[in-house]
Structures are given as structure tokens and as C-alpha cells.
Structure 1
Amino acid sequence: MPKLNLKFFFIKFLLISNLSFRIVGKLIFQDNFDTLDANVWLHESLNEAHLDEFQLYTDTKENSYSEHGILHIKPTLVVNEESDKFHPIRSARLSTKNSFSFTYGIIEFRARIPSGDWLFPALWLMPTNSQYGPWPTSGEIDVMESRGNRNLTDTQGNFVGVQQVSSTLHWGPRTDLDGWKLSHFSNNDNSCFSNAFHTYKTIWTPESISFHVDEEQIGITVPPEGGYWEMGDFNKDDLPNPWSNGTKSAPFDQSFYLIINLAVGGTHFFSDADNNEGGKPWKNTSPNAGLDFWKGRDQWLGTWNLATDDSHFLIDYVRVWDLE
């Protein structure tokens, strides 16, 4: 009987069971946040807010700063005549749009998510040139998103606040045909991701994109031979394939840059069907959602613990390796 080559079968098992397996190449980006380097991180301005969210982004040190090797993104209140308008909160959104982008690689960051009702922290990637068209046609890679609520549950009673982090790919030929549900993954930990630092990793290759929390894979997307067009079954919609000139991994075969931000509220991140201790001050269908949010601040303001850094999105480091 021939002798089994255990090494061969072990390597084959790794490749089959996790198509994102790659030997790590060289480190091509690293920030340990000893300082907040304006040459690396571009601050989004007040005029670049998402109008369906309840914050505006600033470049002030009050909303983003480095302290003892940790990046803080901190939400603050507007306590003047602007307080009754749609955007009563100030926060920060930082990107490497002008300094660093890459195609395929491994991104890892270590962070502690904030706690406080209706806070929405994220680290994600957007295409540098959007070569296939406007969102979501050129894709979006969400390495980590979460919600700051301590007692938020979905209709099945599952905690979907600080006990949960999620990772998602956005892709589709139109905004109403986003295939994100086919590439969305969540990880729950009842000890809460806001109580300690955790590592979040995305392994992005020409064959697959996988997501990891504390080195545990929580999901992987492997497009078929027909790519994301086939995966989304978009042929039935009688539309031209925007990725026909790309590779199998299109739109995720182009250069992307990094974004770190802390959003607040909004009409997309928090479902009206979920249950929150103290209720939800606004409806996503309301034309005055931001104003309703502000008027209902007695519900959420105390949960932010503003005398502490509980409501801060804390990032220890961000690192990117290429693939060997």
C-alpha cells in the first residue's frame, strides 16, 4: 500500500476549505497612530456628509486625535442654534484616498468599538477610480461595521448592537440591485466588542474575499466562473453586464483605499423593526428623522457616557500586506 503524503493532503485541505489562503507578502501600509498624520489621512469636510445620517464630519482635534498610540474618533454635540437641524452631531471620517490604495492583499486592524445608542463605527474600502461606474457598480468592501447600542435586538430576539460585528461586500448594476445579502457575514459575542480591543481582517484575492474576527473566519465569498454577474443572477433583469471587461473578481479587481469613520443614526443603519431599550426616537421614513433624533436625546444621550471614552471609536493600528 503506498505511503500517504500527509503534507500534500494538508496543503490541499487548506486550499479547498479556505480559498482565501495565501502566503503573506510584504507589509505595504502601516499606521500605529503615534500621531495622526495629515499626510496620510484625509479628513472629510462638513460638506461631504451623508445627508441621511445625523452627523457632519469635521477635521477638528475635538473629533479625531491620537493619544498614547490610539486613534480616537469622538462624537460631539452641536450646542447652539444648529442643534434643532438634521445633523446635530459632529464626528470624523478619515481616508487614504490621496495617499494609499491597493489591489488584492490582507488588511488588518485592531480596534475597540464605541458603546452608546445609535453610534455606527466602520472601517471599509472604496474604489479609487470607480472604473465600473457609480455605487454599487464599482463595489465596496466593509471590513467591519457595528452598532453601539447595548440592548438592541432584532425581531428574533438576537442582539445586534455591541454584541455583533459584521462584514459585507456591496456590488450590483444599480442601487436597487445591490447583491450585499449574498456576501454579508456577522459574528456575535455576548461579552461585547465594546469592552475590549479585537482584530478584524480581510483577505482579498483574485479568487475570493474572506473576513476574520480575532483570526476566526466568519465568512468567505467565492464568485463563480461568471463572476459577480452570475452570482447575483442579474441576467433576469435584462441589463448590460457592467463587469464584462473585467476579471472574474470584478468589481473587486481594481484599486481601493481605506476609510475609518464613526457615523450616528441615519435612515439605513438601524431598522425600525428592531427593539431597543428606551425605544427609537425616529422612523426611517420620517422627513424630519434627524430632528426627531435630536428631540429624543433624553433616550440616547445618557448612554454615550460622555465623561469617559466609551463613545469613542478607538483604533490601535491598521496594516496592509500584499500577496506573495
Structure 2
Amino acid sequence: MEQDLGGNRQPAGSFSFVPTANGTPSRSGTPNTDRNPFGDERLEPHGSQQAGGANPFASPNISRPASSFDSSSALGSQPRGQRYFHSRRVKKDEVEKPWLSKVDPKEKWVTILPIIGIFVGLAISAVLIWDGLRSVVKHKYCLVLEDNFDKFNTDVWTKEVQVGGFGNGEFEQTTNTDENVYVENGHLFIKPTLQDASLITKDNVMNLLKDGSCTSKTWSDCVAATNTTVGNSTIVPPTRSGRINSKKGATIRYGRVEVVAKLPQGDWLWPAIWMLPVEDTYGPWPLSGEIDIMESRGNNRSYAQGGNNIISSALHWGPDVANDAWWRTNVKREALHTTYSSGFNTFGLEWSQKYLFTYVNTRLLQVLYTNFDEPLWDRGNFPAANSNGTRLEDVWSQTGRYSTPFDQEFYLILNVAVGGTNGWFADSKSNKPWLDASANAKKDFWNTQDTWFPTWKSPALEVSKVSMWQQCDGNEDL
């Protein structure tokens, strides 16, 4: 039992509450919580005691090492005049100082040799870079065309008008109307639209020869029909679109091309920026060549073959359609964390008698690169005869130029195709609504428009600028 100050006795083991300065009761015998829990009496000078007595749980100052005072702790900021740790077990004269001993003269080479190696490496790198830059061919270019589309320049561009599918079984009729090809706010738009339904649901004949609007001399390119007889699958093209070329106003043999464009968005759209020869100098396609600067698909990135997040470049060349060696010169490039329909990109070509390459936005970001360092006939490794036994004749090597057939004037084409039966959209992938070999391909496509037409959120190829330069060194044939 203990005696309290008031004379009242309390049971042993009990405790009383004494009001603090703030009116909060404290347990008797409980350490003052205002003190540092680590025992560092940081709030008062060493040796002082706070009201209420010393902390009974703190180490006595006399038993604490000098290094424990004024040391850092979890509480408060570090005071000035800190005393650093000093071991009592190491005497001053016992500390080793190897740097004061005599240095071996050979040790300096440990530093000198790596430094010499670094400088030698830098010198070799500089020489290699200089030699690489010196060896880069720098051609002189003369401007042929720079179109910013203040208007549609009919002196340069021709709107192609056809219904035959352009050899690919495409599903569009290309028109010369402002509905499908027009200029607005300084940009060129090539926009696909739906065909007039009445031309498909009723018997019709579309004959472009009558009004002279057809730009082809082939009858099948100019005439199409719809036959609603039961069991007949013939219909006119289910969509309309545009295709323009620079054959009349801008052609080059060797040089550069740049097209600044935003690609369309929509299922089964097929935008392309490409070139064909002005004359079929070496024979019908693909004997005289084709240069595909950019081709893509309007489907989204989930499409199995790659949608508008991927472009491809290719060269078409070969003795006949069955032996087109395009697959030897075909490269794809994926957009980085975006799509080619989300903004404008520059699609370019640089072409000389020694090489040809395509690029996106900068010449350093190349897509397809082809060196003309051997005859293309040899590179193609073509058979001696085609499937029907006709002998295949090499008509390229006689020129003596390894770049043949890509050694003649070419013109530029911009277009947006829709569908097709040539395999650009592979069968049975991503719910393709038609089969290439089916006679009902166009009708099957038209009948499923409720699935694909809603995806045509931005179906136009939008072009802000086209530039073409002719290589004019004066030694193009060397």
C-alpha cells in the first residue's frame, strides 16, 4: 500500500491520474512521451531534467558513449556541431596510408593504356563515319511538281473513270464527279461512297462508252450490268470512289516523290500511292514494272493481315502475271503506337539508276530498299517457260542496265479501292464477307453493307501536298 499526498491510501498496484499541463491525465510511472523514445534528450541541454523527473527508462548519461549524443535520429533535424564517429580501437599511428608509400612506375600504364585505347577507338569511328558519309551518293534534283491543292489542277491530274476493277476485281466504280474526288480547305480528298441502290436492285446497264467518259479503251473497263434474274449474280460495282494520275502533267525517270497524306479508316478500303510506266516499253504488266510507294487497308489493327496500322511497299516485275516477283521486293512497316489514319505522314520514294527505296516521314526511316547491283532477270530466278509451255524471254538484260525495267518514265497514281478478288484481302480472315473465287463476290459484299459501312468513319484518303523531283545529275545512264 502507498500513501498519497492527500493522506488517502490506495491499493498496491493501482495508479492515479495526474493532470498534465494540457489537462490530459498521465499514468504515474509512465515515461514522459515528450521525450525522445531513443533516449536522446534532444529537447533540453545534456544533463538537464524536465519537470516530473528523469525518464526511468533512459540510459544514464554516465553510461552512454560520447558518440551517442548529438547523433541523428528519427526525430527532428540534425543539430549543428555533430561529432563524427571515432573508434577507440584504432590508434592514430596505426592507420595505414598506402598512397604515401612509393608508387611502382609501371602502375601508371594501368591508366594510360585505357585512355590511349579510348582515343584510338574514337579516331577509328570518326574515320569510318567520314568514309560512310563521303560514299553516300548525293544527287541533284529538279522540281517537277509541287501541288498544295489550292484547286484541282486539271493540267496535272486526270480522274480515271472505269467500272472494270482495274485487274484486281475491285468493287468500285471510279468517277469524275466532285462526290468522290474534290479539293477542300487546301486538301485533296479521294472518298469512296455507296452506289445508287436502284442500279443494283433493278436490271441496269452502265455504259461509259456512250457518254465518252470512260478513260480505258477496253470494253470490260467501260461497261457493267445488273441482272436480277433468279440465279444470276451480276451487278454493277456496289461502291463509287476515285482514282487520279499525273500522267498528263508530271512524270519522272529517277528522282524523288513525296506525298503527305492521312489514310482512310473503314473496313475493306484499300488506299494506295503508286507509280506506273508512261509506256509499256518492255511489254504488258508486269514486264514494264510497277512501283508501290504505299499500300494499306482501312480495317482496324485487329485485322489479321494488318489494318491501317501497317503500310507496305513493293516492286512488281516479271515476265508475266504468273511470274510476278513482287514477293522478292515487298516490305511492311508498322506505325509506332498509332495508326496511319490518325494523322498525316509523308510517304516518300527515292529512285536512281543504282537503287530504289521508299520511306515514311524521313529518308532514314526506310521501308523497302532495293539495290540494282545485278540484272533483275537474274535476281528473279524465273523458270525457262510458263505453265502452258511458252518460253519466257529475257527482254531486260539487253539494255545493259541492272535497273531495267525501272529505267523509264513513270507517273504517279493516288486512289482508294474497295474490296477486290486478287488476294489483297485474304479469304476467311476477320469475317471477310466474300470469297475471291465466287461469282457472287460483289453481290455478297453489297448484301453485308450493314456490317462494314458503319466502320467507314473517315473513308477518304486526305492529301495535303504532293511533290515530285527529277534527278538531273546528267549521268542518269551511268
Distance 1:83 1:136 in 2: 34
Structure 1 position 297 matched with structure 2 position 413:
no
- Tell me whether 1:67 sits opposite 2:190 in the alignment: no
CA–CA separation in structure 1 for the residues paired with 2:294 and 2:140: 21
Which ranges in structure 1 are unaligned for 5 or more consecutive residues? none
Instruction: Assess, with a 3 A threshold, how the Cα gap between structure 1 residues 47 and 149 changes in structure 2: closer, same or farther.
Output: closer
Partner of 2:463: 315
Is 1:232 equivalent to 2:387 in the alignment? no
Q: Deviations over 1:16-63 (max 9, x none)?
A: 7xx7x5345222211111111112111111356426100010000010
* CA gap 1:15/1:285 in 2 versus in 1, 3 angstroms: farther
Per-residue displacement from partner, 1:172-195 (whole Å, max 9, x unpaired)? Answer: 001100010111111112411100
Counterparts of 2:163 and 2:134, CA distance in 1: 46
CA contact 2:252–2:469 (8 Å) conserved in 1: no
CA-atom RMSD in angstroms: 2.2
What's the CA shift for 1:137? 0.3
Cα pair 1:224 1:231 within 8 Å, conserved? no
Deviation at 1:78, TM superposition (A): 1.4
CA–CA separation in structure 2 for the residues paired with 1:291 and 1:13: 57
Pairing partner for 2:398 from 237, 240, 245: 245
Which residue in the other structure is 2:322 paired with? 176
**Aligned CA distance change for structure 1 residues 242 and 200 (closer, same or farther; 3 Å):** same
2:425 counterpart (249, 270, 281): 270
2:131 and 2:409 map into 1 onto residues whose CA distance is 30
Q: Does the alignment pair 1:145 with 2:145?
A: no
Contact 2:238 2:442 in 1 (8 A): yes
What are the Cα deviations for residues 239-285 of structure 1, in whole angstroms up to 9, with x where unaligned?
210212221100000000111111000112201153x2xx1110111
Pick from 317, 334, 339 the counterpart of residue 188 of structure 1.
334
Q: Aligned partners of 1:151, 1:76: CA distance in 2, in Å?
A: 23
TM-score with structure 2 length normalisation? Answer: 0.61
Q: Is the 2:314–2:368 Cα contact (8 Å) retained in structure 1?
A: no
Moved more, 94-103 or 7-16: 7-16
Do the aligned partners of 2:354 and 2:373 also contact (CA within 8 Å) in 1?
no
- Which residue matches 2:117? none
Residues 15 and 191 of structure 1: CA distance in aligned 2, closer, same or farther (over 3 Å): farther
Where structure 2 has 5 or more consecutive residues not aligned to the other structure, the ranges are 1-119, 202-234, 386-390, 474-478
Q: CA deviation at 1:153?
A: 3.2
Which TM-score applies when normalising by structure 1? 0.89
Selected match of 1:82 from 199, 215, 220: 199
Residue 81 of structure 1, CA deviation? 2.1
**Is 2:368 the counterpart of 1:219?**
yes
Question: 1:171: Cα distance to partner?
Answer: 0.2
Residue identity matched to 1:231 = R
- Alpha-carbon separation, structure 2, partners of 1:235 and 1:49: 29
Alignment partner of 2:174 out of 57, 63, 82: 57
Q: Secondary structure of the equivalent of 1:316?
A: strand
Letter in 2 for 1:298: D
> Residues 54 and 134 (structure 1 numbering): CA distance in 2 closer, same or farther, change over 3 Å?
same
CA distance in 2, matches of 1:166, 1:137: 21
Q: 1:296 to 1:94 in 2, by over 3 A?
A: same
> 1:46 is paired with a residue of what secondary structure?
coil
Distance 2:141 2:179 in 1: 37
Change (3 A) 1:209 1:273: farther
1: distance between equivalents of 2:357 and 2:196? Answer: 43
1:108 is aligned to 258
Name the CA distance, whole Å, in 2 between partners of 1:263 and 1:42. 17
1:202 aligned to which of 330, 349, 366: 349
Cα distance between partner residues in 1 of 2:291 and 2:302: 25
| SS, match of residue 426 in structure 2 | coil
Q: How far off is 1:129 after superposition?
A: 0.6
- Secondary structure of the 1:13 match is helix
Counterpart position of 1:283: 435
Specify the alignment match of 2:285 in structure 1.
Answer: 135
What's the offset of the Cα at 1:69?
1.1
Listed one character per residue, the Cα deviations across residues 199-256 of structure 1 (whole Å, up to 9, x for unaligned) are 111111101111101211122011332x110110125545210212221100000000
Separation in 2 of the partners of 1:25 and 1:183? 25
Q: CA deviation at 1:86?
A: 4.4
1:261 paired to 2:261: no
8 A Cα contact 1:117 1:148, kept in partner: yes
Determine the C-alpha separation between the residues in 2 that align with 1:245 and 1:82. Answer: 51
- 2:301–2:309 Cα contact (<8 Å) kept: no
Q: CA deviation at 1:9?
A: 3.6
- Cα distance in 2 for partners of 1:213, 1:72 equals 20
Superimposed CA distance per residue, residues 139-172 of structure 1 (whole angstroms, 9 cap, x where no aligned partner): 0001111100014433xxxx61111011110000
Query: Share of identical aligned residues, percent?
Result: 37
Aligned counterparts of 1:8 and 1:33: Cα–Cα separation in 2: 46
Quick check: 1:13 aligned with 2:132? yes
SS of the residue aligned with 1:234?
coil
Aligned-partner residue type, residue 469 of structure 2: W
CA distance in structure 1 between the partners assigned to 2:371 and 2:130 by the alignment: 19
